[in-house]
Amino acid sequence: MSFAALERRLNYTFANPALLQQALTHRSHSARHNERLEFLGDGVLNFVVAALLYERFQNIDEGDLSRVRASLVKQSTLADIAQRLDLSGYLRLGEGELKSGGFRRPSILADAVEAILGAIYLDQGFEAVRQVIAGLYRELLDKVDPDTQGKDAKTLLQEWLQGRHLELPQYQVVCIHGVAHDQQFEVECAVPAFDIHIRANGSSRRAAEQTAAGQVLEQLLPLSPVDIKRRQAAGKARQQAERLAQFKATHGRAAQGESR
């Protein structure tokens, strides 16, 4: 198999192509697999991304730097990089992994990216792998917002509402589907100030809450200040109408009871 196209995407040519072949080899394929290279690449990647963040964001503290780095080296980010590199077509997998779609599995893709970085380090040293990582992460780093990067949807939604002195979101499990070992949770996220009620599903309550919170954010973040005030006013009017209707219903029943 030729690795020329992959090397062009990496902007790197291996002096020892056997290292790249090993980096693309899953343990299901043969005894000479990529796990040790993955271990090495993980360490190199964490260090280089930390250095890139340190140089680029000189006014944020250690805690925020750690949070941003974690979001940039997590499995889903590495799997996205693997997709950009079109790694699926180069992976060497055992028959079982091939049949089960292992070439699409995020964990296998992410591990292969780290293994390639480890292979580059062994092939031509630290500066070579630093340049490759900087190239792979250039676009991602340009989009980094230290205030939000790495924060989950529930945290971002809470901070958005708190920043405007609004009531926090309310989460409620609507129903649970499936058997004990394979359940799906349906959760509602309500934001009373905007009369928003979003339902989402997940394999756990937390996962469903995160999905629902993310969908609420998709509605709130594009709003202009004028839109926010208008939506707040509409939400408040509906809340008042609901409270009035509830009051009338309660007192109406009480009056009927007395008349009897």
Annotated ligand binding at 111? The verdict is yes
Strands (DSSP E) found in 47-120: none
Six-digit token string for 10:
């990496």
Residue 147 known to be catalytic: no
- Among 145, 123, 120, 122, smallest CA distance to 134 is for 120
Q: What are phi and psi of 202, to 5 degrees?
A: -165, 165
**CA-to-CA distance for 229 and 96, rounded, in angstroms?**
57
- Out of 7, 61, 114, 147, pick the active-site residue: 114
Annotated ligand binding at 80? The verdict is no
Pair type for strands 170-177 and 184-191: antiparallel
Q: What does the buried/exposed string (b/e) look like for 67-101 if buried means 16 or more CB atoms within 10 Å of the residue's CB?
A: bbbebbbeeebbbebbeebebbebbbbbeebeeee
Residue 42 known to be catalytic: yes
Q: Which residues pair with 1 in a beta bridge?
A: none
Annotated ligand binding at 86? The verdict is no
For tokens 């796990």, the residue is 35
- Out of 42, 97, 123, 209, pick the active-site residue: 42
- Among 163, 167, 224, smallest CA distance to 194 is for 167
Q: Which residues pair with 166 in a beta bridge?
A: none
| Binding residue numbers for Mg(2+) | 38, 111, 114
Q: Which residues are annotated as a binding site?
A: 38, 111, 114
Q: Which residues are marked as active site? A: 42, 114
